[in-house]
Structure 1
Amino acid sequence: MREFSLPALYEVPSDGNLTDLIRRNAAQHPDVAVMGRKVAGAWADVTARQFLTEVRAVAKGLIASGVEAGDRVALLSRTRYEWVLLDFAIWSAGAVTVPVYETSSPEQIQWILGDSGATLAVVESAAHQASVASVQAALPALKGIWQLDTDAVGRLTAAGTDVSDELLDARMSSAHADDPATIVYTSGTTGRPKGCVLTHRAFFAECGNVVERLKPLFRTGECSVLLFLPAAHVFGRLVEVASVMAPIKLGCVPDIKNLTDELASFRPTLILGVPRVFEKVYNSARAKAQADGKGKIFDKAAHTAIAYSTALSTDAGPSVGLKIKHKVFDKLVFSKLRAVLGGRGEYAISGGAPLGERLGHFFRGIGFTVLEGYGLTESCAATAFNPWDRPKIGTVGQPLPGSVVRIADDGEVLLHGEHLFQGYWNNEAATAEALADGWFHTGDIGTLDEDGYLAITGRKKEIIVTAGGKNVAPAVIEDRIRAHALVAECMVVGDGRPFVGALVTLDEEFLGRWAEEHGKSVATVAALRDDADLLAEVQRAVDDGNAAVSKAESVRKFRVLGAQFTEEAGHITPSLKLKRNVVAKDFADEIEAIYTR
């Protein structure tokens, strides 16, 4: 057993809640721009004073709409200024935010709103409102739905005009440090998302120590960050709250479709993203260079950047010759890449999935260091991250100051600290299992080096994490696909990949009947696995499975296998549970084909 800790850099308040931050900012930095919002296609600043005023007005509207202290309010929207505004308004009304991914299916929405007992839902679009309305009959606690696209902010503001400042002030002070701030639902092996209860204290401990350890990246009045991650994800909430805590200017965009243009217009000094974003930047730059006939120059520059960064990790450092090459390529290539990233930043923080050493060295080599971190919803986002002044590429960094990382005898990563979740909402059994002996059992396997840098080497649990950082519980969609008569077994894949795929085996007994019904002269798996009609039938099974999950979790491609998963081959246990590692190894070529063909 091995463990490592760093002393806390931030003194967590003995009491209070996150609304204290916006009141403090308005008092100490009233004219500092703490938010950027899009108005008629252009960025406009929102000062600390203005933000507090808007939050208070919306919070009054929530109170007038019947929101009581301690109530849960669902927030279903893409990332936008109004998401942050509503989050702080919900807290200011004394309530608890329940974020819902905007890609969630009605089935998922029903579970999250029903399990949390949400009394009000704020959604972004008419489509979102229709999804919530379609399951509202099964949600007796839900009293109303407000839609951002039909001016929910303006209408809430108007609704709250009769609520007194005294009542609002009392509500803003009603939540204590150990009260829930949010319930974030995360996928589990049972298939049903579990609600992680994160307190105000957890956010103070998390964000306060992140800001202090990365202080040069959070300079008030100088630094800014562009949030394009889903605000419903705990990593997005880290960006939101840490920015307000510093404070630095926070801008929000709904997705990465026009990320290059958004970066160029907002010009952030800090970027927080998932590996897929940094892969996209690299791949887009390389593709553009090839299209312009400069592919060889780009590849040489990339090789130089990686070599330069690798040399920085050695005692000797880069050679004179490598320094010269690096300086030449900085003028030809690297400066242009930094311009694509906004032109002002030198650092990014990456989490949600492994970044990879090659990509890490490439970005540091071009003068834009990506600090990789590691965390879970249960740890209020980052529980380890690379320090700005001593990064170790290939690791996820050192523990959050004030917390402890322990490696158990079986290699499992265990966590302890004030940033941890309080438990799973309405699920005492799962809470007791995860928080055994005062330590959170992550289900991940890792190692700690002599300097306390953590490396994640595997998972005990079966959760798949895509390259975009989306957690996917295989059981939900696998069970639905497997329910089709033509399907014998299904295994979802996609760990570290850009999307979710699936391996499917056919039920040989049903296959003969299906072949006869469809006029097929041969009824063997080998003969029919690539048959267009059969693939269309399997696609219908996949579509049924996809209906139970969000778009990010849905299966985009599948492969019908020519063999079965058998106990004899070690693919399944006597109780018919999949041995995923064995299947992944034996069918590695088929998995690769999902992503290359």
Structure 2
Amino acid sequence: MWNFISIFAQYTKIRAMIKENFIKLYENSFRENWDLPCYTDYGEDVNYTYGEVAREIAQLHLLFKHCSIRRGEKIAIIGKNNSRWCIAYMATITYGAIVVPILQDFNPNDVHHIVNHSESVFLFTSDTIWETLEEERLSGLRAVFSLTDFRCLHQRDGETVQKFLKHINEEMQQTYPNGFQKEDIQYTTLGNEKVMLLNYTSGTTGFSKGVMLTANNLAGNVTFGIRTELLKKGDKVLSFLPLAHAYGCAFDFLTATAVGTHVTLLGKVPSPKIIMKAFEEVKPNLIITVPLVIEKIYKNVIQPLISKKGMKWALSIPLLDNQIYGQIRKKLIEALGGRFKEIIIGGAAMNPEVEEFFQKIKFPFTIGYGMTECGPLISYAPWNEFVRTSSGKILDIMEARIYKENPESETGEIQVRGENVMAGYYKNPEATAEVFTEDGWLRTGDLGTMDGNGNIFIRGRSKTMILSSSGQNIFPEEIEARLNNMPFILESLVIERHKKLVALVYADYESLESLGLNHAEHLKTIMDENLKSLNNSVAAYEKVSEIQLYPTEFEKTPKKSIKRYLYNSIVEK
């Protein structure tokens, strides 16, 4: 039986299309913010104004035109966050091509697969990543470009890319004889219904799902950021989440560039030491982050302070506790640059203890909710309206309902529809049909509740996906598929324990016995080798900490799939 709680947007009706044209947002921004700083590579002498970015885009457009790149063709980008990553992305979408951002954490096999599956014709990549790829396995690519300086790293036989790039300045002079001016910024005219982005939720063959996001989906996220004034002209942001992820991309990059914000790109692993120094130097006006960063600050800085005997005593005294909390809040805000209006946390579940403490000291943070399929935002509330343990309020351009198979259940699946919902999965009609209900709602796979004001409370996940503490999507089936192909493993189950991945393995004892290897030391040696081999073949955030032998086959459903929920709470004996 169906039982729905449906909350409709309070402020406006769900519209058929965002009125602002996505590409025109950037055409206008580059003109209006011509002299303002646009992109800076942190710690490097690389700075671009909006006008300089527009000129770089114009040069790439001349290259695309020379190569007869057609609207709707795919251009892939993989590498660390830097200015040229952003310029390549902007040049692609403003030309009318489809951008395919790839996480630099993916291993080479996964990169090969995504480039081929997406049918990308150009690839922009860091030099180090290109060295790990095999050009003969990327036969569809016409050319490869460096994210260091846009030089051509590889061109297919018969292409004239390298020759053209040698004379790019002359081409610019001929095209713009009076020099490139803001009046020369004229981008393609494409409706918001067109697919603009393919975002792969995974790299592995058989599991790949290229999320097709339209200009409307992206405009929905960006215009929400504009009208709620998350960022404004002249603001500063520090971009440290991977731009190949929908979350960081939508706000640190796309919204920022649309309004005239100065984006500093960290371009390195955001360890607490590095990121705190960067916050102090950049002094961002908005911080977009994942729980890991905030939780580390709490654990390393705040917890030792409030755990001291004298401090515990002081915090137990009325009025004095508020003064101390005020001092802690002040120091924390100063440590993060001192200028931000709020911190938006998303991408993974927040530690309840940390959340409770931050609310107690009135720290300006909020928790949002989204998924790649919504590019990503589903719900958000400003920090002073944020309801504790919630994930914000349904956006005014979205609606949500809770689907309960059993009307008596406390929770149900969160299902959404609206401006931000994707067009489907690329070349995967089966997966697309599976993720949408018959009446057109997107199944999020998340279990939760919703209050009368539209605040979403996530209680668990009906999907098998594991979110790492840094917000990366981990699909255990992919890791298990690799494990199950390894010596003396019949079946496996990957679970999360203490924020680490552990593989439960049922060994092939029969084969072991036939070879006279059924001894504990032999089995341990074999599994140690399997673990080493596995971790060499997966992304850094997918690495398994240990293989734990399980004594029996796993319990299965009539469809012969493992009943995962029976094993999620297994603890080490």
- TM-score, with length taken from structure 2: 0.86
Deviations 1:118-161 (A, max 9, x none): 001111123x11233x1x32333211111223554998976644
Equivalent residue letter for 1:70: G
- Residue 32 of structure 1, aligned match among 19, 31, 36: 36
The 8 Å contact of residues 487 and 530 in structure 2, kept in 1 or not, is answered as no
Q: Which has the higher helix share?
A: 1
Shift in Å, 1:422: 0.8
Shift in Å, 1:29: 3.2
- Residue 265 of structure 2, aligned match among 245, 252, 265: 252
User: 5+ residue gaps in structure 2?
Assistant: 154-161, 406-411
Distance in 2, matches of 1:458 and 1:120, equals 40
Report the equivalent of 1:581.
565
1:178 equivalent in alignment to 2:177: no
Distance in 2, matches of 1:274 and 1:77, equals 20
Report the equivalent of 2:8.
5
Percent identity of the aligned residues? 23
1:408 equivalent in alignment to 2:403: yes
Shift in Å, 1:552: 1.7
Larger mean CA deviation between 459-468 and 151-160 belongs to 151-160
**Structure 2 counterparts to residues 204-223 of structure 1, below 5 A:** 204-213=219-228, 215=229, 217-221=230-234, 223=235
Report the equivalent of 2:284.
268
The 8 Å contact of residues 367 and 380 in structure 2, kept in 1 or not, is answered as yes
The 8 Å contact of residues 406 and 415 in structure 1, kept in 2 or not, is answered as yes
The 8 Å contact of residues 189 and 474 in structure 1, kept in 2 or not, is answered as no
The 8 Å contact of residues 64 and 159 in structure 1, kept in 2 or not, is answered as no
1:225 equivalent in alignment to 2:208: no
> Secondary structure, in 3 states, of the residue corresponding to 2:357?
helix
User: 5+ residue gaps in structure 1?
Assistant: 308-320, 518-522, 591-597
Report the equivalent of 1:450.
452
Report the equivalent of 1:312.
none
Deviations 1:292-350 (A, max 9, x none): xx85179749x95xx9xxxxxxxxxxxxx64432223433x433322221222241111
Shift in Å, 1:547: 4.7
1:203 equivalent in alignment to 2:218: yes
Larger mean CA deviation between 156-165 and 502-511 belongs to 156-165
The 8 Å contact of residues 186 and 194 in structure 1, kept in 2 or not, is answered as yes
**Structure 2 counterparts to residues 32-181 of structure 1, below 5 A:** 32-38=36-42, 40=44, 46-126=48-128, 128-132=129-133, 134=134, 136-149=135-148, 151-152=150-151, 160-161=168-169, 162=171, 164=175, 172-181=187-196
> Secondary structure, in 3 states, of the residue corresponding to 1:577?
coil
The 8 Å contact of residues 10 and 212 in structure 1, kept in 2 or not, is answered as no
Distance in 2, matches of 1:152 and 1:368, equals 46
Distance in 2, matches of 1:341 and 1:352, equals 20
- Residue 324 of structure 1, aligned match among 317, 320, 335: 320
Distance in 1, matches of 2:184 and 2:499, equals 46
Distance in 2, matches of 1:537 and 1:244, equals 52
The 8 Å contact of residues 63 and 160 in structure 1, kept in 2 or not, is answered as no
Larger mean CA deviation between 377-386 and 62-71 belongs to 62-71
Report the equivalent of 1:318.
none
Cα distance change of structure 1 residues 224 and 64 upon mapping to structure 2, 3 Å threshold:
same
Distance in 2, matches of 1:364 and 1:153, equals 51
Report the equivalent of 2:556.
572
Deviations 1:549-595 (A, max 9, x none): 3222232x1242352234xxxx323454211110123x2345xxxxx
The 8 Å contact of residues 338 and 366 in structure 1, kept in 2 or not, is answered as no
Distance in 2, matches of 1:379 and 1:40, equals 34
Distance in 2, matches of 1:173 and 1:106, equals 33
Shift in Å, 1:85: 1.4
The 8 Å contact of residues 406 and 414 in structure 1, kept in 2 or not, is answered as yes
> Secondary structure, in 3 states, of the residue corresponding to 1:280?
helix
Distance in 1, matches of 2:504 and 2:286, equals 39
Larger mean CA deviation between 25-34 and 472-481 belongs to 25-34
Equivalent residue letter for 1:266: V
Equivalent residue letter for 1:36: T
Shift in Å, 1:462: 1.2
Deviations 1:416-446 (A, max 9, x none): 1111111111111211222232211111111
Distance in 2, matches of 1:195 and 1:339, equals 41
1:542 equivalent in alignment to 2:531: yes
Distance in 2, matches of 1:388 and 1:218, equals 15
- TM-score, with length taken from structure 1: 0.82
> Secondary structure, in 3 states, of the residue corresponding to 1:211?
helix
Distance in 1, matches of 2:559 and 2:529, equals 28
Cα distance change of structure 1 residues 553 and 562 upon mapping to structure 2, 3 Å threshold:
closer
Number of residues paired by the alignment?
Answer: 541
1:386 equivalent in alignment to 2:385: no
Shift in Å, 1:190: 8.8
Cα distance change of structure 1 residues 211 and 460 upon mapping to structure 2, 3 Å threshold:
same
Shift in Å, 1:196: 0.5
Cα distance change of structure 1 residues 100 and 348 upon mapping to structure 2, 3 Å threshold:
same
Cα distance change of structure 1 residues 159 and 401 upon mapping to structure 2, 3 Å threshold:
farther
Report the equivalent of 1:563.
551
- Residue 465 of structure 1, aligned match among 460, 464, 467: 467
Equivalent residue letter for 1:433: E
> Secondary structure, in 3 states, of the residue corresponding to 2:567?
helix
> Secondary structure, in 3 states, of the residue corresponding to 1:363?
helix
